Every structure is written in C-alpha cells, then in structure tokens.
Chains A and B, each alone.
Chain A
Amino acid sequence: MIVTENLTKFYGKLKALDDLTINVKKGVTGFLGPNAAGKTTTIKILMGMLKPTKGRALVLGIDPTKKPIEVKKKVGFLPENPKPYRGMSGFEFLNFIAKLRGLRDRRERERQVSELLQKVGLYDRAKDKISTYSRGMIQRLAIAQALIGDPQLILLDEPTAGLDPLGREEVISLITELKKSGKSLFISSHILSEIERVCERVLIIDRGQLVLDGNVEEIKSQFSSGRYKVKVDKPDLLLKELSQKHFVKETWLEEGYVLVLPTDESEFRKSVLEISIMLGCEVFSLEKERPSLQEVFVSLIRKRGGEIK
C-alpha cells in the first residue's frame, strides 16, 4: 500500500525525515512518534503535498511527487485540524468535495454523500451549517470527506487531536467500523491508547527515523518484562513457597498480587497451579504482565534520549 525508500526531508537546516524506509501493507497501521518526529511530514509527502529532499515514496504504486493529483484521487485523507467551509452545510461540503474528487453523476454523488453522513452520524444535521457543529462533529465530517469515492487507502493525521473524551470515543468507534469494513488505514497519532485499540501494526518514528515496526501484540510480548501476576486468597503463603523455587528469580507482593519474575517461564506456568493447590490456595487469576503500547513507546524514545512531550 505504502512504500518509502530512504525518504529524507530538510526544512532549511532541520532534518525532519532521515532515510525513512517503510513498507505498509493492507490493514490498519498506526504511525507513532513524539511531537516533531516527522509524522505529518511523512503523510504530506505521501499525499503529494510536499516534496522529499531525497528518497522516494509510492502510494498504491503511484509516486506522489510525480503524480500528486492521482494519489489524492485514490487516497482518502484526513488532515490534522481539518478546516471545512463553515458557511456550508455538512451535505453541501461533502457534495463539493465529491465533485472535486471527480464524482460527476449527481444521483450517485448525493447517494454516497447521504450514506457517508449516516455512517458518521451526521445525517440529522446534514442541512445545518458547519459553523453550528461541535469539534467532534467537524472531525467526523472530515473523516466522511476522506471516505468519498470509497478509497482503498485512508490516511488519517491525528484523527483525535483536540477532541474531548466523548469526541475521541466517537472518532475511535468510527475508525473501528472502518476497520471492520475492510478498509486499509494509516493512522498518525501520539495518543497511543487509541492506536492500541484499533491498529494491528505500528510504526514508531523518532526524529525522522524508524525506531520500531511490527505487530502490536508481538511488540508488546517483545517488550514484556516477563513478570507474572497471580491473584490468590493467601498471597503470603504462595510468595513464601515460590521464592524457594529454582525457576523463580524474584517474587514480591504488590496490591494484593503475587508478582513473579521466573527464570524458566514454562516451568513456572506448569508448576504454579500445582503449588497453589498443594498450599490450599484458591487461584483467582494468573496473567503475564504485558506493557501497554504507551510504555513500549516511552521506553523506546527515552532509550534514544528523546523527550516525550
């Protein structure tokens, strides 16, 4: 879907992108990075809105630097902080964008616009002026404009930026619906909890360089501390017993849980239930502690000496 090779962009002396090479396949991909990491620059290059200083990009097999209009026709795009024409109604705005995107047949255009308004939950407000819309509604309208023409690929730049919790939830559930309908999405964001909910794969960039690329679950396992949390009715007893086992490196109590850092995970998993039963402990839960994407991200960026704003 998206390929970049050694993409480099300078703004004067400032290097915004540094030999960025990525390969994005079908599905929902999160594009993460701290502020000024180069996310928006990358997206603008992909949309043919900026020219790279070096390297090249291909979006759906088209070079956006050479054919920006072709890319814009085929790819849906939600810019960061969208600015629709506030004097128009939601219907008029989508109709206008549909015309610009080349939907000439009036009936088909109006059908698609009505469908999209329904999809983003703005059908009842379709005739109201955009100036009366809330920020969340404007964001949903902007997502609807990105969906005009049923594009194969949709690029969303900070889709939840500046929204209140309710607005964020609305946008995330909309993205989830798009994911279910089989759309390929490339979402740039620095709100990782939301990305974690919707993305199958993430790319993390920092200071214009790719830091991490992988499946969300795999990344979490990769960055797992290897600790287990056991919830039992007699935690002290279990703690004492486990601390003597050869396959356990460290164990301690935390908020009523027995936390275990095993040296041999399979041996630990096999034995922990047997030991609990032997001690007469009732086991409520046993889970491996996995870091959130946020924790992975923070640890990665800090390791590189970056700042998280």
Chain B
Amino acid sequence: MKALTLAFKDAKRLVKSPRFIFALLLSSFAVIGLRILLSTFLLQLFSIYVARFIFTFTLPFLLLAILVLNSDIMSYERSEGTILTLFSQPISNASIVLGKFLAMLSTSVAFTSFNALMIVMLHPYIWETTGFISQYQFLSSFFFAAMLFQLPVIGLTLLFSSLFKRSAVVTILVILACEIPAIIYASQLMWQVQNGAYTLLPLHSVRQILTMLIGSILGYDLILTARVFRITFKEPEILKFIPVNVNAQRVYYFLSTTNPDLQVIDITFSIISLIALTLATVTISILIVRRWRAEYLE
C-alpha cells in the first residue's frame, strides 16, 4: 500500500516532468514511420525501407524513452534531500524501492500500451499483410515482450540511479549494460542466419548457451534490431518471422504453443533470466537504500 502511494507520487512527478514529452515523442517513434509511409510526398523522399526501419525501432526507442524519463528516479531523492522525509516516515527500504519500481512500470505500461495500439493500427500499412498474425495475437505478443524486456531496463535504471547522481551517467551505463550482451547475442544470431543454422535456441555448445544467457538478459536492443533488420533484407524469408523483433516472435511462440520443444525452453530460459535480472537489480537497490539510510543518519 505504501509502495503504491510512493509509486503514485513518483508517477505524477514523471508525468509533470519536462522530459515526459520528450520521452513520449521518443517512444512514439513508430508514428514518425507511419507519417513517412502514409505521405506520398515523403515516400518519394524516403524509401519504404526507411519507414520500416524506423518502425522496427519502436521497442528500442520505447526502452530508451523509459530510461530517459526515469534516469533520476532514485538520485533526485538524494540530491534534493527528500529521502530524509521518507526515512522519517513508517516506510521500509523495500517499499521505497518497490514504489520507485512501480512508478517506472506504470509509465512503461502507458507508453507500451500507446505503442501497441499504434502497431495494431499500422500493421497492415507497414507489413502489407494482415494474414500473418491476427492483431489480437500480435498485440498480446508485442505487449508481453515489450513489458518483459522493459523489466530489466527498469531494474537497471533503478540500480544505477541509486548509485549515481547524474542522469546522463545513469543513461549511458544502462545503455552499455544493455548493449554489450546484446552485441554478443546479435553477432551470434547473425552468424547462425548467415550459415543457414538459424534457430531460436542456439544450444550447440556451452559457449552458445552462455551467449544465449547473456543475450537473453537484454537481447532486444537497438543494435540487435538493426542487425536483424539487415538480415531480413538479405533473407526475405525470415521477414515473416520477425514482425517487430525477434524476441516478440519468440514470446509469441511461447504463448501459442504448449509443446515442450526447444523454442519453449528458449523462451522460458529468456523469461527466467529477464525476471532474475530484474529481481537482482531490485534487491541490490534495496541494499543500496539500506546503506543510504545508514550513511544519511550517521
């Protein structure tokens, strides 16, 4: 209950923040793609591929928007001294961190819902087909994937915001924390595609399992999308499997099948690793707040 109170307070602060509009624009990057697509004039200037490319960036930009909006979620309490107000109230460290987490999650849900709606609306225009996945399935898979991949980003933002006061430092560190494992994963994926061994579960060796573990944590990101998208142009057959992003598709499989095949194991593996990372970042953040409390009061 107290965590919800805090979450509501922070969500209101985020909405009132001048960065909110910027984040909303950032997260609504798909709309720009639509504008290009629907405008004949603009289409003459920009190719359909540009529009598709921009649209494919929807989820990464959504993640970036959440990051930009929330990068000072913990640090402002310290820099403005308001953390003392919280420490003097009957609220535990866990509730403080959970409240912050829920505030970020609420903005994520709002932004994702908006994007999901945009994707449903734009799907036929972008992919020139409506037959591949029904809009309902697409919406659920997108929403589920987007939320799943936002959880660790929220967790990492919470963690780095607890450690560093400057929003810019937090933003860079979260991006790096997402990029490094994703680069490894994307390289692996590209290698598989180029060698005709594209599977959703590259369990060929221990190294690949480890790569998958790291990659799954934050497998979806800007570079991954760009690389996968590049692959789709070379391998048009793959296009239909990658409607928005690889992970959304993987989550879709997870949702649509009960067969205990490798894909399901893969997805389960991803989900567990993403949730585990989120829980780890939240737990570490609670320990940091506990340390703050001790430092502040002594």
Contact = CB atoms under 8 A, between A and B. Distances in A.
B137 to A, nearest CB: 40
A162 interface: no
B80 interface: yes
Interface in A2-22: 11
Given A49-B297, A50-B298, A100-B5, A72 B82 contact: no
A50 B296 CA distance: 10
Contacts of A83: 80-82, 84-85
B9 interface: yes
Contacts of A82: 84-85
B74 to A, nearest CB: 14
Given A69-B90, A72-B90, A86 B80 contact: yes
A102 B5 CA distance: 10
B35 interface: no
A100 B9 CA distance: 11
B89 A101 contact: yes
A257 interface: no
Interface string B269-298: 000000000000000000000000100011
Contacts of B92: 69
Contacts of B88: 47, 49, 72, 77, 79
A173 B102 CA distance: 41
Interface size class of B (residues with CB under 8 A): 20 to 34
A99 interface: yes
Contact of B13 (A69, A73, A81, A87): A87
Contacts of A79: 84-85, 88
B91 interface: yes
B2 interface: yes
B204 interface: no
Shortest Cβ-Cβ A-B pairs, 3 listed: A83-B81, A72-B90, A99-B5
Interface string A98-116: 0111101000000000000
Contacts of B5: 96, 99-100
Interface in B94-122: none
Chain A binding surface, main DSSP class: loop
14 contacts: A47-B88, A49-B87, A49-B88, A49-B293, A79-B84, A82-B84, A83-B80, A85-B80, A86-B80, A87-B13, A96-B9, A97-B89, A100-B91, A102-B90
A101 B90 contact: yes
A60 B254 CA distance: 56
A31 to B, nearest CB: 17
Given A100-B89, A100-B91, 20 more contacts: A11-B298, A44-B297, A47-B88, A49-B87, A49-B88, A69-B90, A72-B89, A73-B90, A79-B84, A81-B81, A82-B84, A83-B81, A83-B84, A85-B13, A97-B85, A97-B89, A99-B5, A100-B6, A101-B89, A102-B90
Contacts of A72: 88-90
Chain B binding surface, main DSSP class: helix
B16 interface: yes
A50 B297 contact: yes
B70 to A, nearest CB: 16
B131 to A, nearest CB: 50
A84 interface: yes
B294 to A, nearest CB: 8
Contact of A84 (B16, B85, B297): B85
A100 B297 contact: no
A191 B81 CA distance: 25
Contacts of A77: 88
Nearest to A155: B88
A135 to B, nearest CB: 14
Nearest to A68: B90
Contacts of B13: 85, 87
Contact of B82 (A49, A85, A101, A104): A85
Contacts of B1: 104
A248 B56 CA distance: 101
A87 B298 contact: no
